[in-house]
Amino acid sequence: MAASHSLLDPQTLSRAEPLGLFARRVVEGYRVGEHRSPFNGFAIEFSQHREYTPGDDPRHLDWKILGRADKYYIKQYEQDTNFVAHLLLDASASMAFGSGPVTKIHYARGLAACLGFLILQQRDAVTATIFDDRPRSTFPRTDSLGKAQQLCKVLTDLEPSRPGNLRACLQDYAARLSARGIVVVIGDFLDDPADLLQALRRLSLTRSEVIVFQVLDHEEISFPLEGNIRFIGLEDDSRLQTNPADLRKSYLAAFHEHQKAVRRACEQCGVHYTLCDTSRPLAEALTGYLAFRSKAG
């Protein structure tokens, strides 16, 4: 429980809260909220008229126009609605890496918890899924702020131990997505960028807004290691003994190439991409993204 509490960093939340999380797009909601609903129907604010087509509910006919012009028009209205945020957390074994006290999974849990709390606080709904090679645990959809603690517990329950399968998990999740919303994917995305591209494309087809947070350790980014080191893979048993100084230049070249591919995939799918360095404070990454989002409208 203590671990779940620590995910909600008060400092992070206090900095991020004023910014809120506003849906960049019109989202479908199941109750009136601060977000515009794509459904024009029976709300207070008139939107437009359209011609009646058989099957329309006769209660929406504009009788005044029918009386004056003897034409059948249906009145359409706009209404505000809330949204559902889908938090997808990668908990594959590679997320267990950390050169300092904060591992990637730790950082990612904190990020997901903070986002969830903020969303619940603005009376939107949150659902969370933790996966590696398949979905492992799910936090059911809720709009109750009181369930934030349960969300945290779910996030901390699973320890990274298995290799991941991002493409399969995301595609599967997209197939089960019933309504448009905001999909937040948090992971290290060290897999093949082509898999990521396919997964993001599938998510985009749901017309949901997709946000990607890539959580990486500082050593993975700058590769500053020295000495004779035997590297052991976290997701498989591959081993490589070498002097990092001998490979630094080539490693960084390959890594930057991969990062470019990840960004390109995100751009192609209209996905917001944010890189999170675990050596930087979580608040910095979260507020930075929310500020960008506010500006983008």
Partner 1 sequence: MQFLAPAALAGLAALSLPVIIHLLNKFRVREVRWAAMRFLQVAAQKNERRVRMEDLILLILRCLVLALIVFAFARPTFDKVDRADLVAGDPLTVMVLLDQSASMGASDGIETRFAAARDAALAFLEGLPSGSAAGLLLVHDGFASPVARPTRDLALVRRSVELARLTDRGTDFEPALRAAVEALRNLPGRREIHLFTDNQLVGWRELERVRELLRGAPEVQVVISAPSLGDGPVTANLAITNLRLDTAVPIAGQPIRVLVEVTNGGAMPVGGVRLALAVNGEPASADAVINDLAPGGTRHVPLLVRLPETGFHTLTASLPTDRLAFDNRRTLAVQVAPAREVLVVEARRGPSAWQGSGHFLAAALAPVDAEAAARHYLNITRVTAAELDASRLSEYAVIFLAGADPIAPAQAAALAAYVREGGGLVVMPGEPTPAELFSDAPWPDILPASLSTPLEPARGGVEPAPYNHPLLTLWNDPAAGNLAALRFARVFPLAPFDSPEVQVALRFADGSPAVLERSVGRGRVVLFAAPPVPAWTNLPLHPAFVPLMHRVFAASARGSALRLNLAPGEVFQAPVPIEQLNRDVFVRGPATDARPVAVGSVELVEARAMLRVRASAQAGRHSVYVGQIERPDFIFAVQTPAEESDLRIAPPNVLVAPPAAGAEAAPAFVAPSAPFLTAKQLWMIALAAAAFLSCAELLLALRTSRSR
* Rounded CA separation 195/189 (Å): 10
Inter-CA distances, 58 with 3, 43, 52, 55, 63, Å: 56, 16, 9, 8, 10
Is residue 162 within the footprint of partner 1 (CB under 8 A)? no
Per rule CB under 8 A, is residue 217 in the interface with partner 1?
Answer: yes
Spatial contact of 143 and 125, defined as CB atoms under 8 Å apart: yes
The tokens describing 210, both together, are: 């997709």
When the beta carbons of 72 and 251 are compared against partner 1, the nearer one is 251
Contact at 8 Å (CB) between 211 and 272?
yes
Q: Identify residues 55-74 at the interface with partner 1 (CB under 8 A).
A: none
Nearer to partner 1, 244 or 281 (CB): 244
- Position 97 contacts partner 1 (CB under 8 A): yes
Closest CA to 110 of 141, 162, 151: 151
Question: From the list 9, 132, 188, 209, which residue makes contact with partner 1 (rule: CB under 8 A)?
Answer: 188
Instruction: Kindly state whether residue 101 participates in binding partner 1, applying the rule CB under 8 A.
Output: no
Q: Is 107 helix (H, G, I), strand (E, B) or coil?
A: helix
261 forms part of the interface with partner 1 (CB under 8 A): no
Q: Which of 94, 131, 128 is nearest to 114 (CA)?
A: 128
Choose between 205 and 240: whose C-beta lies nearer to partner 1: 240
Instruction: Show the tokens assigned to 187.
Output: 């992971």
**Interaction of residue 167 with partner 1, rule CB under 8 A:** no
Q: Which stretch binds partner 1 (CB under 8 A): 57-65, 96-104, 202-210, 267-275?
A: 96-104
Residue 104 binds partner 1, judged by CB under 8 A: yes
Q: Which of 175, 183, 255 is nearest to 24 (CA)?
A: 183
DSSP letters, 113-125, are HHHHHHHHHTT-E
Q: Which of 161, 242, 260, 284 binds partner 1 (CB under 8 A)?
A: 242
| Rounded distance between C-alpha atoms, residue 155 and residue 151, angstroms | 6
C-beta of 75 vs 104, nearer to partner 1: 104
Judged by CB, which is closer to partner 1: 85, or 105? 105
Given the rule CB under 8 A, which of 29-37, 121-129, 244-252, 269-277 is the region that contacts partner 1?
A: 244-252
Our CB check for partner 1 shows the closer of 116 and 193 to be: 193
Give the contacts of 67 (CB within 8 A, at least 6 positions apart).
none
102 sits near partner 1 (criterion: CB under 8 A): no
Residue with tokens 């050593």: 219
Of the two residues 45 and 236, which places its CB atom closer to partner 1 in the complex? 236
By the criterion CB under 8 A, which residues form the site for partner 1?
94-97, 104, 188, 190, 217, 220, 225, 227-236, 238, 240-242, 245-251, 253-255, 258
